[in-house]
Structure 1
Amino acid sequence: MSAQPLDPRRPSLAERRKSETRMEIARTAARLFAAHGTAEVTADQIAAESGVALRTFYRYARTKEDAVEPMLAAGAQRWLAEIAHLPHLPTPSDFESAAVRSLTLGDSPQDLEITRGLLQAMDSDPALRAIWHRINMEAERDLHRLLVELAGPQSDPIHLRLRAAGAAGAIRVALELWAAANGPAVGEGSPADLVKRCMRDLL
């Protein structure tokens, strides 16, 4: 009996373990930064609390601030994956639905609280703001590339750039407002609720 071929889209066990380690480091760094700020936290502390050697830490992050990137970027990656599965250029309703699904089906309550603390700490921490804005800019660029592919070569480049900037900006603003207001995880004032409101006001 022949063995079944491996699904090329499914990550290998080694890749999944690497992803889990990277995310565990990100959670630890985010929790420490939220509590103490980046200036008071060292890479050694993050590595030790993550249960990895410092050498291993630097395999996954160039700097201690970069360590939080996988956690902050996870939501944008889920949202972009939702958009990528559409057979047509997304409408405002498509943008909204994809954003709500990526938020509703994404982070655990614990991860959501860690993200809230990180976004609150960002107000007084330039290093964290730089990471957050870089992640959002990369998400906007990735979204723009997706829109160009979906719209085809005859599309209006200005229109697509503005759509990408508006949609990505709406999510960023919603999350920042939610964190600043200590909003709930679900219901009125939640990330999903605020994303819907921001999308409808903007798009």
Structure 2
Amino acid sequence: MSAHPTRRPSLAERRKAETRLDIARTAARLFAEHGTADVTAEQIAAEAGIGLRTFYRYSRTKEEAVEPLLATGAQRWLGVVASGPHRLPTLAELEQAIQAALTFEGAPEDLETTRGLIHAMSDDPALRAIWHRINMESERDLYRVLTDLAGPDPDPLRLRQIATATAGAIRIAVEQWASGDGPTAGAGSPADLAIRCLRAFANGIGAES
């Protein structure tokens, strides 16, 4: 992902992306409510209002159907970072980006669905693999964004440290939040926990956040 503006998707591309996201939300909701073992691709397709053949055009397996929902959160975060000043963000700016990216004022249901989805992952290795792959790709994409922002002669080691610490803080925060019944905003929310994690990483292992 580049910090520079990219081509605006065509109408057909936007509609395809909307369909994939609708399927993802439907699959995630069903997995959260019933567990992956008791949900079939046929059920997801029926709930999403599409045919089974159409479902398989968008997703190879029922577990992979949720990927666009998880990827949307990652792309939202990367977009916030990339839209900032064309230089490496400060710790305070990273915290502001986390706050903006993990505040779901318009669609808090996506965050609640993600909580249920993470619960369902405990019994489904395929779903866990998708979650970890999305997080790894997010870390790599963040590294590319930071490289672009850093300008000439960046320090690759430092950029990797920032990317790994920041992406890790978000992953840990969302997983920790999902393990309980914390709010979607304010103290104990994903944004609050991620900022606390990032501060702890910045201050050193074992430091108070």
Normalised by the length of structure 2, the TM-score is: 0.87
Please tell me whether the aligned partners of residues 104 and 111 of structure 2 are also in contact (alpha carbons under 8 angstroms): no
Please tell me whether the aligned partners of residues 167 and 199 of structure 1 are also in contact (alpha carbons under 8 angstroms): yes
Corresponding residue of 2:201: 202
1:62 aligned to 2:60?
Answer: yes
- Structure 1: runs of 5 or more not aligned: 1-7
Q: How many angstroms apart in 1 are the aligned matches of 2:122 and 2:114? A: 13
Return the offset for 1:117. 0.3
Which of 15, 32, 35 in structure 2 is aligned with 1:34?
32
Please tell me whether the aligned partners of residues 104 and 184 of structure 2 are also in contact (alpha carbons under 8 angstroms): no
Q: Secondary structure at the match of 2:184?
A: coil
Q: How many angstroms apart in 1 are the aligned matches of 2:165 and 2:183? A: 24
Quote the sequence identity (%).
65
Q: Deviations over 1:70-97 (max 9, x none)?
A: 1111111011011112211111112111
Q: How many angstroms apart in 2 are the aligned matches of 1:139 and 1:46? A: 26
Corresponding residue of 1:48: 46
Q: Deviations over 1:34-61 (max 9, x none)?
A: 2222222221111111100111111211
Q: How many angstroms apart in 1 are the aligned matches of 2:60 and 2:95? A: 34
CA separation of 1:202 and 1:106: change in aligned 2, threshold 3 A: farther
Please tell me whether the aligned partners of residues 102 and 191 of structure 2 are also in contact (alpha carbons under 8 angstroms): yes
How many correspondences in the alignment? 196
Please tell me whether the aligned partners of residues 174 and 195 of structure 1 are also in contact (alpha carbons under 8 angstroms): yes
Q: How many angstroms apart in 1 are the aligned matches of 2:149 and 2:175? A: 29
Q: Secondary structure at the match of 1:104?
A: coil
Q: How many angstroms apart in 2 are the aligned matches of 1:162 and 1:107? A: 32
Please tell me whether the aligned partners of residues 38 and 127 of structure 1 are also in contact (alpha carbons under 8 angstroms): no
- Structure 2: runs of 5 or more not aligned: 1-5, 203-209
Q: How many angstroms apart in 2 are the aligned matches of 1:96 and 1:15? A: 32
Normalised by the length of structure 1, the TM-score is: 0.90
- Read off the aligned partner of 2:180 and give its amino acid letter: A
